[in-house]
Amino acid sequence: MTIKSKMIGMIAGGVTALAGSVASAQDLAGKTVEFVIPFSESGGSARWANFYAPLLSEALPGNPTVVVRYRPGAGSTEGANWFQEQTTNDGTLVFGTSGSTQFPYLLGDPRVRYEYADWQPVLASGTGGVVFLPPDLGAKFDGDFDDLKEEFFLYGSQGATTLDLVPLLAFQMLGLQVDPVFGIEGRGDGRLMFERGEANIDYQTSSAYLKSVVPLIEQGLAVPAFTFGSLDENGVIARDPTFPDLPSFREVCEATAACEVDGVAWDAWKAFFISGFAAQKMVYLPGSAPQEVVDMYAQAFRDIIARPDFMQLAAAELGVYPQLTGEAGKSASDQATKVTPEAKAFVLDWLKEAYGVSMQ
């Protein structure tokens, strides 16, 4: 039985109550909506955007053509800086971010010239991540990494301040010797390094994992180790509902001698996990978009989530995670773009010591 066949047939709702009808004047008939993401076309964000694009085309008034555009570069900051300058106000431009866009913002990266508070959120998507190994190293993994601490790992990374911050910090907490190869444009490129034997540890977000890594596992070319987990109703890291048979990072950390699930390192990892995964992917309109356009998109996403086939479609493509719009989406965006001073200070010190990365 494959992982896909074990999917739970439900999505955590998170859909807010209807907020009234959209102004009837809104009609995108004959128009093209550009759904821009600041990543390459080979990673999880591309998979996510291409999942939603045809659904948006059906749900928006006038059934416009929705096309996904890619603007990769500088760990996604180039695309976000570009979006900050856009003043499109007719609903023909939306922008999709990921944790790799949020982290540089949270850490005060000097490349950041964008301000989340200027944008208007219309969807927040939670996701997960799965770490996997080649078969020879996977055979040594038995729920902890004690037998792998002498191994030398290579990992394809977009950069220490991107979404890769979460796995890199997890690897250090586990006591692993991981040498990141920085500079790839998207997580899909990291997976290709793994497939070519140029890397021997990798992670993919859930959507990319389901599509591109599960076939490798079924062919015996990769072995899953753990997921980053999911937040339960009490804010505790629990097993990822999309991959209930895999241990969470918390479980693996508890089982590994070098790792601890309390203290500042754990608090910092959890804070960035929330920003990077629990509410990882967001859809925004430019700040110039009028309220009726914001309402139009919020209603479109509500209609998408309410489709009778959405749970099945999303489980197969995205995994079983919350899809939030309206006020819930705004709240998720707010939480995902803030971090406590203590967690920020710890991560800044770690980045400088481990990778020589300074935000100054």
Model confidence at 203: pLDDT above 60: yes
Per-residue pLDDT, averaged over 253-275, amounts to 93
Residue 291 sits at φ, ψ, to 5 deg, of -60, -35
Per-residue pLDDT, averaged over 198-211, amounts to 93
C-alpha distances in angstroms, 346 versus 133, 310, 327? 28, 40, 31
What are the helix (H) ranges across the chain? 44-59, 77-84, 99-107, 135-138, 165-173, 187-195, 206-208, 214-218, 249-255, 264-273, 291-306, 310-317, 326-336, 341-355
Model confidence at 21: pLDDT above 70: no
Q: How many CA atoms lie within 13 A of 159 on its CB side?
A: 18
Count the neighbouring beta carbons within 10 Å of the beta carbon of residue 16: 16
What are the helix (H) ranges across 151-198? 165-173, 187-195
Per-residue pLDDT, averaged over 7-36, amounts to 58
Give the model's confidence band at 146: pLDDT under 50 very low, under 70 low, under 90 confident, else very high.
very high
Asked if residue 281 lies in contact with residue 97, where contact means CB atoms within 8 angstroms, the answer is yes
Model confidence at 16: pLDDT above 50: no
**pLDDT on residue 141:** 97
**pLDDT on residue 2:** 45
Model confidence at 93: pLDDT above 90: yes
Model confidence at 295: pLDDT above 80: yes
Arithmetic mean of pLDDT over the chain: 89
Give the model's confidence band at 233: pLDDT under 50 very low, under 70 low, under 90 confident, else very high.
low
Model confidence at 12: pLDDT above 60: no
Give the model's confidence band at 17: pLDDT under 50 very low, under 70 low, under 90 confident, else very high.
very low
Asked if residue 298 lies in contact with residue 325, where contact means CB atoms within 8 angstroms, the answer is yes
Model confidence at 38: pLDDT above 70: yes
Per-residue pLDDT, averaged over 265-294, amounts to 92
Per-residue pLDDT, averaged over 7-12, amounts to 36
Complete DSSP assignment for 80-129: HHHHHT----SS-EEEEE-HHHHHHHHHT-TT----GGGSEEEEEE---E
Least confident of 159-173, 229-243, 250-264: 229-243
Least confident of 6-15, 23-32, 100-109: 6-15
Model confidence at 10: pLDDT above 50: no
Of 71-80, 192-201, 231-240, 262-271, give the range with the top mean pLDDT: 192-201
Dihedral angle at the C-alpha atoms of 57, 70, 241, 330, nearest 10 degrees? Answer: -70
Of 40-44, 166-170, 309-313, 328-332, give the range with the top mean pLDDT: 166-170
Model confidence at 13: pLDDT above 70: no
Positive or negative: CA dihedral 332, 307, 45, 152: positive
Percent of the chain with pLDDT over 70: 92
Residue-range domains of the chain with CATH: 4-126+277-341 (3.40.190.150), 129-275 (3.40.190.10)
Cα–Cα distance, 89 to 78 (Å, whole number) = 21
Structure tokens at 10: 């439900």
